[in-house]
Amino acid sequence: MFRYTLGRLLSGVITVWFIATATFLAMHAVPGDPLMNEKATTAEIRENLARKYGLDRPLPEQYVIYLSNMIQGDFGISFTQQNRRVNDIIKDHFPVSAALGILAITFAALGGILWGAITALYRNQLPDIIIMFLVILGISVPSFVFAALGQLLLVNLNQWFGTSILPVAGWGTFSHMLMPSLVLGLGTMALLTRLMRSSMLEVVNEDFIKTAKAKGLSPQRIFFKHQLRNAILPVVTVLGPQIAAITTGGFVVELVFAIPGLGRYFVQAVQQLDYTVIMGTTVFYGAFLVLMVILVDIIYGFIDPRVRLK
Amino acid sequence: MNFLKSLAIALCLFSGAIEAQSVDATRQVVKIALAQEPPQLNSMKATDQVSIFVLGHVMEGLTRYDRRGNLAPGVAERWTLSATSAKFWLRKDAKWSNGDPVTAHDFVFAWRNAVDPKTASEYAFILYPVKNAEAINQGNLPITDLGIRALDDHTLEVTLERPTGYFMKLTAFVTTFPVQERFYRSVEASYAADASQMLYNGAFKITDWVHSASLKMQKNETYWNRQTIRLNGIDADYITADTRARLNLFIDDEIAYTQLDGETYKDALKNQFRIRPFATGSVYFLEYNYRPERITSNLKLRQAIQAAFDPDEFVNKVLQTPGNLPGASLFPSWIKGVNKTFREEYPAKVLRPDLAHAKRLLAEAKAELGVEQIPPLVLLVSDSPTATKQAEYTQGMLKTKLNLDIKIDVQTFKQRLAKMTEGDFDIVGAGWGPDFDDIMTFGDLFASWNLNNRGRYNNPEYDRLVRIAMNSSDPTTRMEAMAGIQTLVYDDAIILPMYEQGVIYIQHPKIKGLRRTVIGSDPDFTHARIVP
């Protein structure tokens, strides 16, 4: 187990290095000057800025400087907010995205497992058809539509009640988190429902279920003890990457609900060619994603010993 | 139903939600949303609208704008002006939020810093009328050579490079706001990064700033003119660029003011909010590429496009939201002339579409260029939905009217700028907003030395007229020169004016005295109050 974990971690480090290098190259290949703004400035001013951010050096040298700073955990100063360090931006805004993401994934996992199990139980009957229809919607409708609809729903709800039941946007209390995290988790919930359904249907036909039935176990016991437990494994597998996807993919939801998450910085940095923020957030998110995948692999090893043996 | 309602209300109390109310007459607090996190609250470097909005409320320059929008004494109690110099006497009761007096040295420090090439301020050019500013900014002189001197703690002397009629108007601009050197040095690189990392000398001060989440301003008790300030707080509790989200917040009575766009406008109408128009003072136009190898350097071709374009149709069919004016001139209609507005005194030639004339001009252009058909022209635009919609209109219009082929090149903000600067376009969708309250903020845009003249228009006559206006402080001489430029813009078809931008906004009916302004901090809540 120790060697297995160590091996996974090592490959993780290489992956992060690769992400950093690929992002660095892609970023510099994008046309446009990060130091250029609407108001033209003198050559002298541009040179000074270039010197401040080290852009006056040749690219390979920038790369080496960048990597060595990154290893020391320093992502530099933002281009757009010239008095803020990228480290501070990540430190201030990632916890927000994470809190939102955790709640979203909780909604998604609970909902996905529940709906998936129900559809499998009522296979090809009305509940199955209705839920699967909603699942298709959930997978195909982009999150910005859900976000706008969710907010509109709140506005109408508040108007109907004549008082603020749930805040329409903003951040600070638990009630601020409910709608955005639900919206954020919907896509994942749909995905997990489908996964859970097919996995449940597969398990139903297994020999041990037949044996359990033949032994005269109650349907509840068969469902919870044997079917659900075995069917849940593939769901756990995708949960890791999904957690990362949710915590990083909240850009639109953060914008609509005015949430100070890292997703906004992540996307805006690319639009504004904010080199240091692009690198900082990408590498950070990349490392986070890799870590989640490794974590799931390790947990999987505990749940299912066969994985370890392979 | 009543049960349901009370249950929900109980739930909401339980969950800790606060009852929404965007204005509070007893506490005199107004809640608003910001379109973005202010990226730069260092007054010497700020350039964007949100930062300037905040700075205009929490800091003050030598002068300020009063409730009617007129220039009034700020930190400076009085001043004397000569053609090339100015002397300011600062009031003794002007204080920083830490209790220190605002002194002449704070201005000297800020102005020197703003033009210091090491600071790399994009707005350094605002101070170019001050002696040696431009040379310092180009790295040719030390910052100590700047024409500003503290005679004592409360007397400031400014020497100008040349007579500048609009110099006083610059003294209310953010770049010229004072900064206390001692405080600045104590935080240096993180100056203005947080609420506690800056000093305030304006009507308000930032008390709480959670990045990208909220920014709260409170009445500044050390402000010299605090008796006239009615609002106790401006709470920007929400930061989002999404106009629909802001409209939803407004409907929910959580914010008291928001600007609308074409989409949200219709919803606001449905909700029967009172729609208020506001002219932003910006002009939008098509700018041509004048590099000799470009086909758009041909005058007849530009004139043909000018004769085909119908600004009225453009404003009514494409822009649709109220408040926009058809483009006619480089100078927007609000710009002041000698006594009345410039455009009243010197009316611009109205752009009237004349298709037969346009076709004739196009034929002449083809003959001059020696081509059968004009090759496709590249129209560079930014990737905003409005910009692409406008570009598509232009494309369709030129195809049907003149059989001209247009290739639309949609680029993100930075890429578009890079392409503009490199000259990689034939026509570019551009706009210009005023930096200061004088005609020159538009007038010198196409001077050969202006770095913002990215199409490289170069005409000695244009340059001559700009120099006349620059070196004179006589209003009539200056406006005559600018009228010459206005005629030149039409005759030489330097740009194709499309529209003067108007926006629409809604505000809570209990807010009084909210001032919208073309120049400086907008919207201005400084003299606003909430009526019961």
pLDDT in tens, B152-190: 999 999 999 998 888 999 999 999 999 999 999 999 889
Per CB-CB distance under 8 Å, the chain B contacts of A77 are 189
Whether the predicted pLDDT of B273 surpasses 60:
yes
The mean predicted confidence, pLDDT, of chain A is: 87
Q: Which residues contact B219 (CB under 8 A, 6 or more apart)?
A: B203, B204, B226, B229, B231, B232, B233
Q: How confident is the model at residue B68 (pLDDT cuts 50, 70, 90)?
A: confident
- Tell me the domain boundaries of chain A: 86-309
Which of B182-186, B239-243, B259-263, B377-381 is predicted least confidently? B259-263
Whether the predicted pLDDT of B230 surpasses 50:
yes
pLDDT of residue B1: 45
pTM: 0.90
Q: How far is B3 from chain A (nearest CA, A)?
A: 11
Instruction: Provide the chain A residues 44-63 that lie in CB contact (below 8 A) with chain B.
Output: 44-46, 48-49, 52
CB B281 within 8 A of CB B433: yes
Neighbours of B476 (CB within 10 A): 12
Q: How confident is the model at residue A308 (pLDDT cuts 50, 70, 90)?
A: low
Instruction: Provide the chain A residues 267-296 that lie in CB contact (below 8 A) with chain B.
Output: 271-273
CB A179 within 8 A of CB A166: yes
Q: Which residue in B20, B33, B248 is closest to A152 by CB distance?
A: B248
CATH of B18-256+508-532, picked from 3.30.420.40, 3.90.76.10, 3.40.50.1860, 3.30.300.210, is 3.90.76.10
Q: How confident is the model at residue A224 (pLDDT cuts 50, 70, 90)?
A: confident
Q: How confident is the model at residue B378 (pLDDT cuts 50, 70, 90)?
A: very high
pLDDT of residue A131: 92
Whether the predicted pLDDT of B16 surpasses 50:
no
Topology given in CATH for the domain delimited by A86-309: MetI-like fold (1.10.3720)
For residue range A190-215, list pLDDT tens digits in order.
999 999 999 988 888 888 888 888 88
Which of A177-186, A197-206, B29-38, B73-82 is predicted least confidently? A197-206
Of all residues in chain A, the one with the smallest CA distance to B7 is A165
pLDDT of residue B2: 53
**B391: helix, strand or coil:** helix
Tokens at residue A275, please?
A: 């080199």
Per CB-CB distance under 8 Å, the chain B contacts of A161 are 5, 8-9
- Tell me the domain boundaries of chain B: 18-256+508-532, 279-503
CB B322 within 8 A of CB B330: no
For residue range B441-461, list pLDDT tens digits in order.
999 999 999 999 999 999 999
The full 3-state SS of chain A, as one line of letters, equals CHHHHHHHHHHHHHHHHHHHHHHHHHHHHCCCCCCCCCCCCCHHHHHHHHHHCCCCCCHHHHHHHHHHHHHCCCCCECCCCCCCEHHHHHHHHHHHHHHHHHHHHHHHHHHHHHHHHHHHHCCCCHHHHHHHHHHHHHHHCCHHHHHHHHHHHHHHHHHHHCCCCCCCCCCCCHHHHHHHHHHHHHHHHHHHHHHHHHHHHHHHCCHHHHHHHHCCCCHHHHHHHHHHHHHCHHHHHHHHHHHHHHHHCCHHHHHHCCCCCHHHHHHHHHHCCCHHHHHHHHHHHHHHHHHHHHHHHHHHHHHCHHHHHC
Q: Which residue in B125, B191, B421 is closest to A36 by CB distance?
A: B421
Percent of chain B with pLDDT over 70: 96
Whether the predicted pLDDT of B17 surpasses 50:
no
Q: Which residue in A39, A174, A255 is closest to B122 by CB distance?
A: A39
Which of A28-32, B95-99, B113-117, B181-185 is predicted least confidently? A28-32
Q: Which residues contact B244 (CB under 8 A, 6 or more apart)?
A: A148, A151, A256, B263, B264, B267
For residue range A233-291, list pLDDT tens digits in order.
788 778 877 887 787 668 889 989 999 999 889 888 988 899 999 999 999 988 988 88
Whether the predicted pLDDT of B15 surpasses 80:
no
Q: Which residue in A31, A37, A44 is closest to B138 by CB distance?
A: A44
pLDDT of residue A212: 87
For residue range A5-59, list pLDDT tens digits in order.
888 889 999 999 999 999 999 999 988 888 888 788 888 888 888 888 889 999 9
CATH number of B279-503: 3.10.105.10
Of all residues in chain A, the one with the smallest CA distance to B1 is A161
Q: How confident is the model at residue A298 (pLDDT cuts 50, 70, 90)?
A: confident
pLDDT of residue B5: 53
